[in-house]
């Protein structure tokens, strides 16, 4: 059988051309390194900001001390260490996990729906989670079980119900991106109405509590939320990472994707399930934080590449950094009062998004 053999030695003849080709594959490695540097810098900044000032050197020494066998002694006092490890770090890590989850889920949704306006709440996750949380917060519905508190559990279940219902509706319509989108719109409207109705039945104090949950917060004590969220981030993040290249293939349409050797329906389903699951988990511990999942993938597109090979992992890293960063003013600006972090992401996110839209038009057409 005649194999289509190609002259792989050709590039040694043409080193200069190969550099051009390499450039065209995107600056993924450089960008990843820079992304991690930004993430670490934001983490350090966040750790030293707050009412009880912790010295940067002390924070670094305490963290290095935590790694065994290095023989570095923490220079923080026991009180400072407990602030760092029991208050600052849990919140910082939770913010990073939530920001990373929402951003990579947003990138994944934009990929499967071939729609730049897609965000992780597209399939009714937000409305479903909101409805669940309203039931739990407002009506004292008790779903707490084992390590899971009532509100996160109710929000998680509500989100899953909404997504599954959206997908079930779309399945009758052939599971194309368009029918999925419409199924999501229908479910989101339904759950939003249910949620509004439920809030109207509440008294003022409880309604206020529900609304502050809906706007999103990273108010956490200890590491519990981190441990709840971590398995979802690990598993779903892995699935999305493995499928990042498939999202590029899906961009040429289902027929061409299939002729290139990809099962578009299966890939789309796996990506949607993973993205929805990690979004539901993030929402259940942090409420509805707007704009992160929409804006961060667009920032990556603008700065680095339009290829999902780069967008998915880099969105996770930059989303983590972004949310951790905006959480600093959220908890320090009106301390000891909290400002909902969702308010800040929307205030910061909307202008960034506008700039991205303008720049995008100039750069790729």
Partner 1 sequence: MSSAVLLESPSSTPALSCREVRVSFRGHEVVCGVDLELGQGEWLGIIGPNGAGKSTLLRSIVGLTDFLGTVALGDGRTPGAADIALVPQIPVLPKGMTVAEYVLLGRTAHLGWLARESQADRQIVSSVLHRLDLTAFADRFVSTLSGGEAQQVVVARALAQQCPVLLLDEPTSALDVGHQVSVLELVDDLRRTEGLSVLAAMHDLSAAGRFADRLILIDHGRIVAHGPPAAVLQSDLLSTVYATPLTVQSIDGDLVVLPAPRRRTNPKKEIS
Query: Quick one: which segment of 145-153, 181-189, 250-258, 342-350 binds partner 1 (CB under 8 A)?
Result: 250-258
Helix (H, G, I), strand (E, B) or coil at 354: helix
The minimum distance between CB 32 and partner 1, in angstroms, equals 14
CA atoms within 13 A on the CB side of 235: 12
Q: Please tell me whether residue 26 binds partner 1 under the rule CB under 8 A.
A: yes
Q: Please tell me whether residue 18 binds partner 1 under the rule CB under 8 A.
A: yes
Q: Please tell me whether residue 241 binds partner 1 under the rule CB under 8 A.
A: yes
Query: Quick one: which segment of 13-21, 144-152, 224-232, 330-338 binds partner 1 (CB under 8 A)?
Result: 13-21
Query: Quick one: which segment of 33-41, 213-221, 236-244, 323-331 binds partner 1 (CB under 8 A)?
Result: 236-244
The minimum distance between CB 119 and partner 1, in angstroms, equals 19
Q: Please tell me whether residue 17 binds partner 1 under the rule CB under 8 A.
A: yes
Q: Please tell me whether residue 234 binds partner 1 under the rule CB under 8 A.
A: no
Q: Please tell me whether residue 22 binds partner 1 under the rule CB under 8 A.
A: yes
The minimum distance between CB 5 and partner 1, in angstroms, equals 7
Mark residues 302-321: x for contact with partner 1 by CB under 8 A, - for none: ----xx-x------------
**Window 256 to 295, contacts with partner 1 (CB under 8 A):** 256, 258-262
Quick one: which of 40, 242, 347, 355 contacts partner 1 (CB under 8 A)?
A: 242
* Residues near partner 1 (CB under 8 A): 1-8, 10-11, 14, 17-18, 20-26, 241-246, 248-249, 251-253, 255-256, 258-262, 301, 306-307, 309, 364-365
């Amino acid at each position: 059988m005649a194999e289509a053999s190609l002259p792989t030695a050709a590039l040694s003849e043409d080193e200069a051309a190969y550099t051009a080709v390499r450039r065209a594959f995107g600056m993924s490695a450089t960008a990843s390194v820079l992304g991690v540097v930004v993430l670490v810098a934001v983490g350090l900044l966040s750790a030293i900001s707050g009412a009880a000032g912790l010295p940067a050197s002390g924070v670094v020494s305490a963290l290095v001390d935590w790694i065994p066998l290095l023989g570095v002694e923490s220079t923080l006092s026991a009180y400072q260490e407990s602030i760092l490890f029991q208050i600052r770090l849990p919140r910082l890590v939770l913010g990073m996990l939530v920001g990373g989850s929402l951003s990579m889920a947003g990138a994944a949704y934009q990929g499967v729906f071939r729609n730049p306006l897609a965000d992780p709440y597209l399939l009714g996750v937000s409305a479903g989670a909101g409805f669940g949380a309203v039931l739990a917060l407002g009506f004292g519905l008790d779903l707490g079980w084992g390590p899971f508190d009532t509100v996160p559990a109710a929000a998680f279940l509500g989100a899953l119900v909404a997504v599954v219902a959206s997908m079930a509706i779309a399945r009758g319509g052939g599971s194309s991106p368009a029918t999925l989108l419409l199924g999501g719109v229908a479910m989101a409207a339904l759950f939003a109405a249910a949620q509004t109705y439920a809030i109207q039945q509440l008294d003022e104090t409880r309604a206020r509590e529900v609304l502050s949950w809906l706007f999103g917060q990273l108010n956490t004590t200890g590491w519990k939320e981190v441990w709840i969220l971590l398995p979802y981030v690990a598993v779903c993040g892995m699935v999305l990472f493995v499928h990042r290249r498939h999202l590029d293939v899906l961009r040429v349409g289902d027929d061409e994707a299939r002729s290139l050797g990809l099962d578009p329906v299966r890939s789309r389903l796996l990506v949607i399930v993973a993205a929805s699951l990690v979004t539901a988990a993030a929402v259940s511990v942090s409420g509805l934080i707007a704009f992160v999942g929409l804006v961060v993938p667009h920032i990556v597109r603008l700065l680095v590449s339009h290829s999902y090979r780069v967008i998915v992992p880099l969105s996770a890293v930059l989303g983590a950094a972004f949310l951790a960063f905006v959480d600093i003013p959220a908890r320090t600006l009106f301390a000891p009062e909290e400002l909902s972090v969702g308010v800040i992401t929307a205030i910061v996110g909307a202008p960034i998004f506008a700039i991205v839209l303008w720049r995008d038009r100039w750069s790729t057409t």
